[in-house]
Amino acid sequence: MMRHANPEANSHSCRCCHRFPERTIHLGRCTVIGKVLNRLWQVAGVTLPPSPALNLFALGPDGPLASGIIAFHLIVWKFILISFTQVDLAGTRFVPDEVWKGAVRRYISRVERLKVVVRTRVLLAEGRGEQPSLDKENELTAPFGAFRSDGYFRWSEVMWSEIKSLELTRFVAPDPAAAPNASLATGHGRRPPPVSPTHATGLASMRAVFRNIAFEASRRQG
């Protein structure tokens, strides 16, 4: 509940900036909350002038932003509101850097879950000799990263450097197929970390299993 409308609140001023009455419209203008959202706009490459509509609803002058940005924006707001309520409930401070870091960590785990789903889909399709379209998945993760046609995910350069600067790389699962052209993900021309041989072998055997399953299924149908 907004402090402005809460008769029990000991102050009516915004619990983030302490400068303005805490109304919903203020949350879209609050410079402290803006520090969190500006990090999102930066990694998303959004250069629109700041406005309450942009900050609150991811709405630009031409309508809603891309669906991948909207999905991340929702996560960011979830973390803003959690931290926001804790100021009154737990007496903590609203620290924009921490809120942003929490949101990025959650976003990484979303992508990690999607990575597993996509890889399984690609392996199953490969077993049938098909190549699935990953357009939908890529729409979900754009512009923060994209799946290659073989199902492996690469973070955008700007997002990957953000993950590195927040020291969150340990939450990104190693990608066994990333080694040949990981320059996008590792950035700055640095050599990618060596691929674990067991991981790569595990993947190859998984591929073989899926191929066998598909073969058996087609034989039973035929």
Give me the least distance between CB of 16 and Zn ion, in Å please. Answer: 4
- Per rule CB under 5 A, count of chain residues that contact Zn ion: 4
Nearest residue (CB) to Zn ion, 17 versus 53: 17
Q: Minimal distance in Å, beta carbon 34 to Zn ion?
A: 9
37 binds Zn ion (CB under 5 A): no
Q: How far is the CB of 60 from Zn ion (least distance, A)?
A: 22
Give the containing element (helix H, strand E) for 183.
helix 183-186
Cβ proximity to Zn ion, 17 vs 166, nearer residue: 17
Tokens of residue 35, six digits: 């520090």
Cβ of residue 210: shortest distance to Zn ion, in angstroms? 52
Shortest spacing between CB 79 and Zn ion, in angstroms: 16
| Interaction mask 13-32, Zn ion, x per CB under 5 A | -x-xx------------x--
Work out the widest C-alpha separation in the chain, in whole angstroms. Answer: 74
Tokens representing 82? 């959690």
Q: Are 163 and 108 in contact (CB under 8 A)?
A: yes
Residue number, 30 or 134, with CB nearest to Zn ion = 30
> Per rule CB under 5 A, is residue 87 in the interface with Zn ion?
no
Q: Quick one: 14 exposed, middle or buried, by C-beta within 10 A (0-12, 13-18, 19+)? A: buried
- State how beta strands 59-60 and 145-147 pair: unpaired
Q: Which of residues 131-160 bind Zn ion (CB under 5 A)?
A: none
**Hey, is 147 helix, strand or coil?**
strand
Token pair 């990957």: residue: 160
Q: Which is nearer to Zn ion, 16 or 46 (CB)?
A: 16
Other CB atoms within 10 A of residue 87 CB? 15
CA 61 – CA 53 distance, rounded (Å): 9
Nearer to Zn ion, 30 or 182 (CB): 30
C-beta of 14: minimal distance to Zn ion in Å?
Answer: 3
Distances (CA, A) of 122 to 47, 119, 128, 217: 35, 5, 10, 17
Q: Which is nearer to Zn ion, 76 or 118 (CB)?
A: 76
Placement of tokens 């598909």 in the chain: 214
Which residues lie near Zn ion (CB under 5 A)?
14, 16-17, 30
